[in-house]
Amino acid sequence: MILQGIVLRAVGGFYDVRTKDGGTYRCRARGRLKKAKMGLYAGDRVRFSATAGAEGVLEEIYPRQTLLFRPPVANAEQVLLVCALQDPPLSLQLVDRLLVLAASRRLRPLVCFNKADLPHAGLDELLVIYERAGYPVFVTSAKTGLGIAELRAELCGRISVLAGPSGAGKSSLINRIQPGLALKVGSVSAKSRRGRHTTRHVELLSLDCGGFVADTPGFSQLELAEITSRELPAFFPEFAAFAAECRFHSCLHAGEPDCAVGEAVANQEIAASRYEHYLLFLQEIREQERSY
Ligand SMILES: Nc1nc2c(ncn2[C@@H]2O[C@H](COP(=O)(O)OP(=O)(O)OP(=O)(O)O)[C@@H](O)[C@H]2O)c(=O)[nH]1
Ligand SMILES: [Mg+2]
Ligand SMILES: [Zn+2]
């Protein structure tokens, strides 16, 4: 019997494949698939022949919409960027860097400020910055359940990757969104002593409402290595409306004359922190470009 499904995880040369009706089959790959060397990742949509029991043989991998290497996930549609309002301290530079990385991989970015139950300051300002920049923003507490229903609604029916600093509460949020998974949750202080641990074992977790999430320690590679200085402005969506008014078509918004983006920053129509991070990333990318 020929079936279709999605790869949940790779386990020692086998692949667990989930079909639409919720069955899971442990499959091996046909030799010619291995020879084609296109790899097989969690998230790959496949065709397989089901054999006895819940086993099967993979026959075909369907073309991928997206592919991430760190973490290795195919066909992800969106990245949920999770950071804590407090503990570990919030870094907007990291938020903006992850938003640029998500956009550069053609993934829809969502922003989630977690641990809203802890004392925090400046939330209203954060909402203004990120909502005005055009991102869907969620304020949550995995502890009290605040904002969980709204977040779940946004994850249903899609493949999402969670990213963000260690200790932000990614696994805790998934446990809240989909009770019963019992993902391991760590303590923040223990982590800073040990340092980040990297998830090698990537797995898609299925949601009862449809869709999948990949819990990962986030993008482990945070250099903007594959992005050119030309491309960077497009990854700041709120620049677009102003950039059209810059004197130079090729304006990089870094001090050129009659730069409408610079003017919008001066008029507080674009958040100062976003622009500051843009300039920082631009400088990083230019240094890489010079060293080629
Ligand atoms: N007060 C409070 N604590 C939380 C919340 N969410 C998570 N925590 C705690 O924060 C710590 C880290 O949570 P995890 O879910 O392991 O964080 P993570 O983002 O998955 O971390 P890594 O797996 O290392 O990337 C744990 O002690 C959680 O109990 C929250 O909303 N409020
Ligand atoms: Mg975790
Ligand atoms: Zn400009």
17: helix, coil or strand? strand
Question: What pLDDT score does 184 carry?
Answer: 78
Q: Per-residue pLDDT for 231 more than 90? A: yes
CATH architecture type of domain 68-214: 3-Layer(aba) Sandwich (3.40)
Question: What pLDDT score does 38 carry?
Answer: 78
Q: How far apart are CA 110 and CA 80, in angstroms?
A: 5
232-290, CATH topology level: Ribonucleotide Reductase Protein R1; domain 1 (1.10.40)
Looking at the CA of residue 185, tell me the nearest atom of ligand 1. 16
What's the CA-to-centroid distance between 268 and ligand 1, angstroms? 34
Helix (H) or strand (E) holding 9: strand 2-11
What six digits make up the tokens of 92?
């907007």
Question: Any residues with Cβ below 6 Å from ligand 1, and which?
Answer: 114-115, 117-118, 141-143, 166-172, 185-188, 191, 217
Mean residue pLDDT of the chain comes to 90
Looking at the CA of residue 144, tell me the nearest atom of ligand 1. 31
204: helix, coil or strand? strand
Q: Which residues contact 283 (CB under 8 A, 6 or more apart)?
A: none
**What is the number of the ligand closest to the CA of 114?**
1
| Within this chain, domains 2-63 and 232-290 share the same CATH topology | no
pTM, two decimal places:
0.90
Q: Which residues contact 124 (CB under 8 A, 6 or more apart)?
A: none
What's the CA-to-centroid distance between 186 and ligand 1, angstroms? 6
Residue 204: strand pairing partners: 214
Q: Which of 254, 259, 260, 250 is nearest to 280 (CA)?
A: 254
Question: What pLDDT score does 222 carry?
Answer: 60
Residue 67: strand pairing partners: 74
Handedness of CA 216, 176, 213, 149 (dihedral sign): negative
Q: Where are the domains of the chain?
A: 2-63, 68-214, 232-290
**What is the Cα gyration radius of the chain?**
21
What's the CA-to-centroid distance between 115 and ligand 2, angstroms? 14
Are the beta carbons of 113 and 130 closer than 8 angstroms?
A: no
Question: What pLDDT score does 219 carry?
Answer: 52
Q: Which of 218, 256, 246, 232 is nearest to 98 (CA)?
A: 218
**What is the number of the ligand closest to the CA of 270?**
3
Give the pLDDT band (50/70/90) at residue 166. Answer: confident
> How many residues can be counted in the chain?
292
**What is the number of the ligand closest to the CA of 192?**
1
For the stretch 37-70, pLDDT in tens is: 778 999 999 999 999 889 999 999 999 999 887 7
Q: What is the DSSP letter of 269?
A: S
What six digits make up the tokens of 287?
């240094």
Are the beta carbons of 22 and 52 closer than 8 angstroms?
A: no
pLDDT top residue among 183 and 108? 108
pLDDT top residue among 116 and 68? 116
Looking at the CA of residue 191, tell me the nearest atom of ligand 1. 24
Mean pLDDT, to the nearest integer, of 186-206? 61
67: helix, coil or strand? strand
The domain over range 2-63 is classified in CATH as 3.40.50.2300: no
For the stretch 76-85, pLDDT in tens is: 999 999 999 9
Give the pLDDT band (50/70/90) at residue 190. Answer: low
Mean pLDDT, to the nearest integer, of 237-249? 97
The CA distances from residue 78 to 75, 103, 229, 244, 251, in Å, are 9, 9, 24, 27, 29
Mean pLDDT, to the nearest integer, of 183-191? 65
Q: Which residues contact 73 (CB under 8 A, 6 or more apart)?
A: 41, 42, 43, 67, 159, 161, 202, 204, 214, 216
